[in-house]
């Protein structure tokens, strides 16, 4: 099945699991992204996802042996070749504020709302 023109946004959890073999569900996330790529979909992430990846990949509660900054930078360079990176523009901020008015959100869920705003903008 070809999905020409389809764009798929990849969140931090899927990205972490696909790239880092020691993460739970690595094989599932890796296969999911490979299948989507085989179907000719565009894979997208945002600056927020990149920052969240860096935080999680270097955190001792995420990995028994966290990645070094050099290792994380290497991974990000790979990611930038495989994914389109959506910029967080004023249009994203406007969309976020509109979403927050329509769907009142608070705390850490604002990060998720920002991802939705990025996808919509």
Write the pLDDT tens digit of every residue in 70-94.
999 999 999 999 999 999 899 999 9
The whole-number pLDDT of residue 4 equals: 58
Question: 1 pLDDT exceeds 50?
Answer: no
In this predicted structure, what is the pLDDT of residue 19?
Answer: 94
Q: What is the mean pLDDT of residues 26-45?
A: 94
- Of 120, 101, 118, 100, nearest to 109 by C-alpha is 100
The yes-or-no verdict on residue 65 having pLDDT over 50 is: yes
Is the Cβ–Cβ distance between 22 and 56 less than 8 Å? Answer: no
Percent of the chain whose predicted confidence (pLDDT) is above 90: 87
| pLDDT above 70: residue 56 | yes
Q: Where are the domains of the chain?
A: 1-86, 88-121
In the predicted model, what is the mean pLDDT of the chain?
Answer: 92
User: Given this model, what pLDDT does residue 108 score?
Assistant: 87
pLDDT, position 94:
96
């Amino acid at each position: 099945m070809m999905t020409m023109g389809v764009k798929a946004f990849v969140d931090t959890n899927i990205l972490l699991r696909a790239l880092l073999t020691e993460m739970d569900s690595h094989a599932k996330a890796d296969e999911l992204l490979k299948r989507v790529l085989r179907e000719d979909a565009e894979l997208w992430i945002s600056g927020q996802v990149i920052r969240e990846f860096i935080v999680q990949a270097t955190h001792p509660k995420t990995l028994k042996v966290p990645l070094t900054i050099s290792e994380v930078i290497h991974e990000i360079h790979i990611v930038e070749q495989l994914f389109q990176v959506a910029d967080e523009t004023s249009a994203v901020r406007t969309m976020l504020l509109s979403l927050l008015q329509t769907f009142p959100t608070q705390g850490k869920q604002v990060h998720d709302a920002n991802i939705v705003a990025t996808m919509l903008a």
